[in-house]
Amino acid sequence: MSVSSPHRKSRRAENSRGPKNAPDATLVEDVEPSGDIQDEEKPLRYIIQNLERTYGTPENRRGPRADPLNMLVQIILSQATSDTNSDRTFAALKKRFPTWDAVLRARESTLADTIRSGGLANQKAAVIRDVLRQIREQCGALDLSFLHDLPTEDAVRYLSGFRGIGPKTVACTLLFACRKNVFPLDTHIFRILRRVGLLPQKCTDARAHELMNRIVPEDKFYSFHVNLIRHGRALCRPRDPLCEQCPIVEYCDYGQTLI
């Protein structure tokens, strides 16, 4: 089945076409426990290209050897709050506790008070201290810099072994700090990929991460992740999405039902 209706040959669609020798589609097959199969062809390269035309091509400006432990804690603090707020909360944490050993020695209530402005302070404080304890027990030191040199699958497996750390936190840590090809999914990204048809409507968090890690082009993990978030905030909103302005509506199952 064609993704776009044959009678809708808009100028935007024509401009989105790539060269004939480019890979023109990614076949997504996802078998759920219920037996449902997602087998729609989606030209993923062109979806990414159109998002970059609209929002630019974001670059990871962190150093190539950014601190994975810093990033891991930042991602924990970013949950259920804005980027600005989580950055401010992380700065307050580092100012109060200059080392991770100091965080681990502190009372959990003191840590929670320090990160209170980021929301969910008690839960986040408990997770951070538990993760630090696990790292200390496994590594003998509060240092995750060795993740830079691990193969991607091994790094994913290692971080996934910690209690309280889910697929998104693992993926963000490795993509942002280590520049490994691991694709994080947040609420915005789940919504868009389901609407487009790249993910089944019923898909577990772990399965969705596994699927996207398989189909995203090697050099587009960071760009696609950031631009999907931008797109979810600007146009593909939870309610009243602005489909008429959408740069990827030609490829979107949901959008095609509305315009």
Residues annotated catalytic, as ranges: 168
Whole-number Å distance between alpha carbons of 150 and 185: 22
Q: End-to-end CA distance of the chain: give it in Å, rounded.
A: 18
Whole-number Å distance between alpha carbons of 35 and 23: 28
Specify which residues 31 forms β-bridges with: 37
Q: At what angle do helices 83-96 and 68-78 cross, to 10 degrees?
A: 130
The residue behind tokens 């100012």 is 95
113: Cα separation from own chain's centroid = 28
Q: How far is CA 21 from CA 17, 25, 28, 153, in A?
A: 11, 12, 20, 31
Whole-number Å distance between alpha carbons of 184 and 11: 32
What 8-state DSSP symbol labels residue 37?
E
The residue behind tokens 């020798």 is 21
Strands (E), the chain: 26-27, 30-31, 37-38, 41-42
